[in-house]
Structure 1
Amino acid sequence: MASYFFLMYCRKSIDKVCLYYSDIDDDVQSLKQFSTEVIVACAVRCIKTIIGDVDLPNALPQAMSAKFRMGTTLANHLQELGYRGDVGYQTFLYSSEADIRKIFMFLVDKLPKETVETTEETLGSSVLLQRSIANTLARQLSSPWVPPYLKHRGITWRGKPPTWQREGTCCMFHFHSMHLTSPEGSADLTKKIPKALKSYYQSSLPYVTCQTLDHNDLIPSLLEANAADVTAQQEWETEWNQSGLASRLSQQEYRDRKRQRINKRITDQLRQDRQRSEAASGSGVSQDLQQILASISGRGSGAAKTKGSRFTHTEKLLFAKDEDKAISEVQVQASAGQTEEEKQKEREDEVNSLKEELNNLTSRLDNLDLEVKKFTASIQQMGEEIANQNRANAEKEDGYKVKKRTLDLLPDAENNIAKLQTVVDSSAQRLITLASQWEKHRAPLIDQFRNLKELSSKTESEAQLKLEEIKEFRKKMKQVQDEARNKEELAKQLHSEYERMTKDVNRSAYTKRIMEIVGNIKKQKMEIDKVLVDTRTVQKEINQLSGKLDRQFTVTDELIFRDAKKDESVKKAYRYLAALHESCELLIKTVEETGVIMREIRELEDQSETESNKKVLANLEKITGDYLQMKKENDALVKKLKGKS
């Protein structure tokens, strides 16, 4: 089947190639009869038809170097078109039938299809619009991209005057969106919209096209609003599927509980921030710290150099440096007549004194930092002690109140004790009556609680099962949606491929060919079955004869061996029988070996036929002829160069 169909396809490809090259004789029936010139000319015509603007000669040149160059250019064009086989100049100049068949089949598949539009069907405006959109998109996708800075005023004209195509970015602008307000709940008839809101929607709310400041912002605003709605709906669906269904609440109850939780979180956060701000404003930590720093700075007021904060020290150091600079300038002017050694000593002394002063200041600053840290720690400790004392005072006040009440009752102790006893007795009696009443109410409540607990467990199990079923149904729905989406895409792809296919194909001819191929296959299968049956019968006969032969030999061997002990002539017969058995085995082995050798001979003959089809000798003769021609051309060129020199 495959070989027959392949031959028909090759014949069809030859017919198509002949359409592009008209110098082929009518006697040519296969690619084996193509010459090198015809192969090159057909390949050039096909490549020109596929690619278009290609600078290739239609005929094979005479010079050998030009032939080699043309072969390499054809091979390069084939590789650019996507041919994956091994191809080079030798494929065209020293061709084999298999390689040329592959190349022509590839080129025939790449040829532009002949489309015939049917004028009988009436096309609507939507179909025509879709086709024009598809053609425009295909043309824009096939056109090369040009950067904006190479375009003249955002427009680029490509092609020649009758088929000009415009490409540009003149209508492009930045993506800028605005918030749009649209009526909510108008599509849902179950919800009632308030009259004031409804009148606002009808009379006061502007149209969406009038809500943007710029007309170009309308489409980005609509896209962003739509994307926000879609993402909010998807997030709500995922949240409801994950945690909403598990809460066993309705959607409205779940939304109300979520809103209450968010409001509570916001109020707690605001309350905490307010408490922190009040504590920070009401606490006197900063004032205490300033007082401590002032006391530290006032502690050494009688000394030569006062203590203070780092800012005061740095300020004093800066002023001291300015004063030192002025004094040093005066000293320089006064000591203009001193020697350089004395100046160097004075400078070193000044540097050492400044270093000592700097070290003293840094040590004082470190000590001040330590004292500040100690004071802050002591402030924290004092605050904790104050809190502990407040707690102890509150406890003591409570104890004092209790003791005061007991002391107030001591003057009339007997009457008070009697009153307390009556109160205790009455409370005990009340407790007994309440316990008896509680026991009466407790038994039915316990029974009701147990029944409700059983019902709740059953409902929980049923709800859990229904929840699992809902999740499984949702998963199946998603899978079905994905499958439907994939099938729709596949259907669109197949529909587009069907529209791109040629409509002028004669289906009856193809069906007739297919039926012929099927009939030939059935005939071949019947012949193969007959051959297999014959081989099986022959194999059975061989097995039966070999088994019969072995059995007869064993029987005759036993009979003759019995009589060989008594008679000498029988011994000779036994020896002849053994020799005959060995010779028969040798004959069988030789027959089997001859069969194997015959199969190998057939395989070698097939290989020789395939090698002969490759035209090795003819190609070798061509190569030698081309080599001699190149040698002559090279000699002629050398002679010309020598004559010019």
Structure 2
Amino acid sequence: RLSAMAEQVDDIIIPILKEIGCSFAEDIKTIKGFKSDELVQTSARMVMTIRPEQPIPHRLPKSKAARFRVCATLAGAIQDLGYTGDLGYEKFLYPNDADTRAVLIWLMNKLPKSDEGGDGEDGTAATDNSVQMMEALKAWFYSKYNPYFTGASETHGVSTVQLMVPQESEDGTGKFEREYYIKFQRPVSEQPKIHSVLAPSLMELNAKELCLAQERQAAFDAGEKSSAEKREFIQQMLSQAFSTEQRVKTQKGKKLQDVLSDIAKSYGMGKEGE
């Protein structure tokens, strides 16, 4: 359905390419897959049709530096016409279908009508052409996937399990807890009996941790913590940062085999002295 709507938009744009003198217009059937040379030529000719007093190169040279300058000049000229979307030289050097259609549709709406007075057949044809384009764009927009417009039939339920991960208590992790985490606790990838529940379980765990962190930060910012609690909070943050940095420094200079051995021991997969 999306491709059909895009084809309707292309059917409106392609005849205009022939009118403005694009050299490739006779051979093209769709805007999809537009290359840099085609997009630059089309956009430049449209800009010069809208503003004839502003000459812009409509062919890309072979030099990389010159190609960059042409694309940057073209992007600036379109922005001078009032285009407010995200537009830079990279949109012309490395085009994609969505950005290409957005720029060409905007430029097409800026093209002068054959009869600005609105009288005669040319003016009527231009108006009809604009109406057709807007109707096609509206249908294409509402046909795009949007989770808010998707019915319940498109959703799929997931199951989760509680994952056990190392937790640091307020008074620090004790010796026995650390020993349990290192020698006995199974990696999260091995905890679920069904592998398909691993990903949603990890997302659920991450969401819980994120909510708790946001609550702690909000309480800290709102001044709900006492001075002693704030100091403890900052100390915990610094301790975590320093411990992470220390682990990184410890691993530097080690061979890959030694690093993997340390990881295996931390998950209880290796034995002391091996």
TM-score range, shorter chain: 0.3 to 0.5
User: TM-score, normalized by length of structure 2?
Assistant: 0.43
Between structures 1 and 2, the one with greater helix share: 1
